[in-house]
Amino acid sequence: MSINSYRHLYKHLYTRLYRDLSANGHPHRRSRVCDPSGKQRQSGVVLLAVLVLMIIVTMLVSTASQLLNRNIELAQRAKISLEDAAAVRAMAAKLSYILAVQRLTNAGISAGTNIQAYETDEDGFFVLETTGDEIRIDGFWYFDQQTNVEYKIQSNSGLIGINSRDQIWIRKWLETTDLSMLAVNQLLDSLADYADENDDLRAAGAERDQDYPPLNYLLQRCEQLYSVKHWGLFLAKHPAFLADCSTRRTASLNVNTMPVALWNRLMPTSVDKLNEQRNAGVWFARSQDAVFVEPSLQNISDEYFAVKGEEGYRITVRRNNTVVTHSLEIGTGGGQPVIEL
């Protein structure tokens, strides 16, 4: 029952009790014959009414207490959510600032704590190749003990560019699935027809498909793949592709910023060695270093993989149930604004 229901019941019983007591105490309503049993019945009615009123009052107090506790709990949750949001956004802003102003190396972005790492020689080149205080930009999760915030930075240079004319890495990703060669070609040609600027139909493409009209413009978000013929069904079965996707226009992959999960999909036999090196702070300085870890890279042209690259970042910060993701592009002559995804 609600509090209003208890109030109406309380008012009704209180009115009845008041009338009974008034009737019992009225001089014209008193019986001239002494009737002890009648008085006992009246006393019993009064006692019962008092007990009922006490129960109702107790229920009212209990219900009010429950509502108060519920409101206090909601207020505490709101406070925690507000604190989480403040901590998460503060960390996202801090990481954005670091990416905008600090030194980028093969190992990641410098945290700015090692001043000696910024020393240069007479030609203006840095004396040290790495700073020793880098924050990894390969999607590695960090935990900040002071704020209880988790965060990661992923460089777009380590993700597969879906706007590239050369689809070598997209093909390799698709070939790790159970798709037939025909299905792989349909996905690749449909994507190319959707994004290119012309109306030429590829062999397995969908340039003139009325159900999936081509955009004839570069994709702005990876989620646009759902609008490309064949890709919706593919992503429903393999949603992990979206995590490895970027809207870059170049086919080259930065092997230093490639996420471990993506490396494991494309080159699973060497992922343990890669993990061992990264955890030890060893990063590729030259392309040959990557070939030493993954020999199959020697069969791929140097134009398709590199050890450096800067094409924007994804920053993800979370605490409890609060998650914020930003996309950051570092411009020349002034940074572009942070875009919240």
Residues 73 and 142 placed together within one structural domain of the fold:
no
Out of 71-80, 163-172, 237-246, pick the least confident. 71-80
Q: Is the pLDDT of residue 32 over 50?
A: no
| Residue 56 belongs to a domain | yes
Q: Is the pLDDT of residue 296 over 80?
A: yes
Residues 152 and 18 placed together within one structural domain of the fold:
no
Residues 146 and 242 placed together within one structural domain of the fold:
yes
Rounded mean pLDDT of 102-121? Answer: 89
| Residue 33 belongs to a domain | no
How many domains does one find in the chain? 2
Q: What is the pLDDT of residue 162?
A: 94
Rounded mean pLDDT of 98-106? Answer: 91
Residues 222 and 308 placed together within one structural domain of the fold:
yes
Name the residue with higher pLDDT: 29 or 199.
Answer: 199
Percent residues over pLDDT 90 in the chain: 50
Residues 175 and 311 placed together within one structural domain of the fold:
yes
Residues 229 and 305 placed together within one structural domain of the fold:
yes
Q: Is the pLDDT of residue 123 over 50?
A: yes
Residues 62 and 169 placed together within one structural domain of the fold:
no
| Residue 130 belongs to a domain | no
| Residue 310 belongs to a domain | yes
Global pTM reads 0.74
Rounded mean pLDDT of 148-165? Answer: 95
Residues 76 and 144 placed together within one structural domain of the fold:
no
Q: What is the pLDDT of residue 17?
A: 56
Q: Is the pLDDT of residue 260 over 70?
A: yes
Residues 177 and 271 placed together within one structural domain of the fold:
yes
Angle among Cα 132, 135, 138 to the nearest 5 degrees reads: 120
* Neighbour-count burial of 120, counting CB atoms closer than 10 A to its CB (0-12 exposed, 13-18 middle, 19+ buried): exposed
Q: Which domain holds residue 49?
A: 3-24+39-83
Name the residue with higher pLDDT: 46 or 31.
Answer: 46
| Residue 211 belongs to a domain | yes
Residues 156 and 45 placed together within one structural domain of the fold:
no
Residues 145 and 222 placed together within one structural domain of the fold:
yes
pLDDT tier, 283 (very low <50, low <70, confident <90, very high otherwise): very high
Residues 73 and 141 placed together within one structural domain of the fold:
no
Please tell me the distance from the alpha carbon of residue 116 to that of residue 128, in angstroms, as a whole number: 9
Angle among Cα 238, 239, 240 to the nearest 5 degrees reads: 90
- Write out the chain in H/E/C secondary structure: CCHHHHHHHHHHHHHHHHHHHHHHHCHHHCCCCCCHHHHHHHHHHHHHHHHHHHHHHHHHHHHHHHHHHHHHHHHHHHHHHHHHHHHHHHHHHHHHHHHHHCCEECCEEECCCCHHHHCECCCCCECCCCCCCEECCECCCEEECCCCEEEEEEEHHHCEECCCCCCHHHHHHHHCCCCCHHHHHHHHHHHHHHHCCCCCCCCCCCCCCCCCCCCCCCCCCHHHHHHCCCHHHHHHHCHHHHHHEECCCCCCEECCCCCHHHHHHHCHHHHHHHHHHHHCCCCCCCHHHHHHHCHHHHHCCHHHEECCCCCCEEEEEEECCEEEEEEECCCCCCCCCCEEC
Q: What is the pLDDT of residue 116?
A: 86
Q: Is the pLDDT of residue 338 over 50?
A: no
Contact by Cβ (8 Å): 157, 289 = no
pLDDT tier, 261 (very low <50, low <70, confident <90, very high otherwise): very high
Contact by Cβ (8 Å): 302, 70 = no
| The residue type at 6 | Y
| Residue 52 belongs to a domain | yes
| The residue type at 75 | A
| Residue 20 belongs to a domain | yes
Q: Is the pLDDT of residue 28 over 60?
A: no
pLDDT in tens, 179-201: 999 999 999 988 988 876 665 55
Q: Is the pLDDT of residue 313 over 80?
A: yes
| The residue type at 318 | R
Name the residue with higher pLDDT: 123 or 31.
Answer: 123
Q: Phi and psi dihedrals of 339, rounded to 5?
A: -110, 120
Q: What is the pLDDT of residue 80?
A: 86
Distance between terminal CA atoms of the chain?
Answer: 46
Token digits of residue 185: 């070609």
> Cα 101 to chain center, whole Å?
25
Name the residue with higher pLDDT: 117 or 239.
Answer: 239
Please tell me the distance from the alpha carbon of residue 260 to that of residue 314, in angstroms, as a whole number: 16
Q: Is the pLDDT of residue 295 over 50?
A: yes
- Write out 145-174 in H/E/C secondary structure: CCCCEEEEEEEHHHCEECCCCCCHHHHHHH
pLDDT tier, 14 (very low <50, low <70, confident <90, very high otherwise): low
pLDDT in tens, 197-239: 665 555 555 556 666 666 677 899 999 999 898 999 999 999 9
Q: Is the pLDDT of residue 35 over 60?
A: no
| Residue 102 belongs to a domain | no
